[in-house]
A and B are shown apart, each in its own frame.
Chain A
Amino acid sequence: QVQLVQSGAEVKKLGASVKVSCKASEYTFTTYYIHWVRQAPGQGLEWMGLINPSSGSTNYAQKFQGRVTMTRDSSTSTVYMDLSSLKSEDTAVYYCAAERTHGASTTGYFDYWGQGTLVTVSS
């Protein structure tokens, strides 16, 4: 069973950066793309981007271009999401989610999710 375990809650100041980790286990690291999805309080799910753990290539939502960086450490099967220039609107639960590769493409949906990491941005 695929497991995604995220780092703990963070409290950050306006303008600071936050780095959230997502450690994968119980599967071959390169067989799932890892996406980041966030959910602000009382709001819906919002896709932020993805990383291909095999190549390290990324695809970011337009909204986060220039502020988000996703990286991976294959030696520890861990993916990281770094969000900079934090605003109060970035207060949210951040999830990593796994999308299985399917031949040369991927399935388009998220089979597994991490437990979520609450990031609180305060002044």
Chain B
Amino acid sequence: SYVLTQPPSVSVAPGKTARITCEGNNIGSKSVHWYQQKPRQAPVLVMYYDTDRPSGIPERFSGSNSGNAATLTISRSEAGDEADYSCQVWDSASDHWVFGGGTKLTVL
């Protein structure tokens, strides 16, 4: 089955740029989606189809996807961006939906 690998944690200083990676075999050929999850809350979609932002998500959030890695980039990081971020794809080979293990973003 298809596997997505994320770093367990990423730290960033306020106002700086955070980059969260999601690695998978030839992930560039798939559409990657990202979710933000704050403690005791349900996940929220923050990026879809690699680079598209849902309405209400700040322009500070952007995405890219190429080769074997997709990246969620958060510019001008704020304390309110602290959360777990998970990537997700649909694997056509198995017709299953797959999540990465999640990355805890700390803004300090």
Q: A35-B97, A108-B31, A109-B33 are in contact. Are A44 and B45 (CB under 8 A)?
A: no
Q: A62-B1, A95-B43, A109-B48 are in contact. Are A47 and B101 (CB under 8 A)?
A: no
Asked if A31 lies at the interface with its beta carbon under 8 angstroms from chain B, I say no
Q: Is A47's CB under 8 angstroms from B43's CB? A: no
Asked if A61 lies at the interface with its beta carbon under 8 angstroms from chain B, I say yes
Q: Please name all residues of chain B whose beta carbon is closer than 8 Å to the beta carbon of A61 when the two chains form the complex.
A: 96
Asked if A10 lies at the interface with its beta carbon under 8 angstroms from chain B, I say no
Asked if A82 lies at the interface with its beta carbon under 8 angstroms from chain B, I say no
Q: Please name all residues of chain A whose beta carbon is closer than 8 Å to the beta carbon of B94 when the two chains form the complex.
A: 62
- In chain A between 86 and 121, which residues have their CB closer than 8 angstroms to a CB of chain B? 95, 97, 107-111, 113-116
- In chain B between 11 and 37, which residues have their CB closer than 8 angstroms to a CB of chain A? 31, 33, 35, 37
Chain B nearest CB from A38 CB (Å) reads 11
Asked if A9 lies at the interface with its beta carbon under 8 angstroms from chain B, I say no
Q: What range describes how many residues of A lie at the interface?
A: 20 to 34
Q: Please name all residues of chain A whose beta carbon is closer than 8 Å to the beta carbon of B79 when the two chains form the complex.
A: none
Given contacts A47-B99, A116-B42, 14 further A-B contacts (CB under 8 A): A37-B99, A44-B101, A45-B88, A45-B99, A50-B97, A59-B96, A61-B96, A62-B96, A107-B48, A108-B89, A109-B33, A110-B35, A113-B42, A113-B43
Q: How many pairs of residues, A versus B, come closer than 8 Å at their CB atoms? A: 54
Closest CB pairs A-B (n = 8) = A109-B33, A113-B42, A44-B102, A108-B90, A45-B99, A44-B101, A47-B97, A109-B48
Q: Is A111's CB under 8 angstroms from B45's CB? A: yes
Asked if B63 lies at the interface with its beta carbon under 8 angstroms from chain A, I say no
Q: Is B42's CB under 8 angstroms from A114's CB? A: yes
* Contact residue among B31, B43, B45, B89 (Cβ-Cβ distance under 8 Å from A45): B43
Asked if B98 lies at the interface with its beta carbon under 8 angstroms from chain A, I say yes
Q: Please name all residues of chain B whose beta carbon is closer than 8 Å to the beta carbon of A108 when the two chains form the complex.
A: 31, 33, 89-90, 97
Specify the chain A residue showing the minimal Cβ separation from B84.
A44
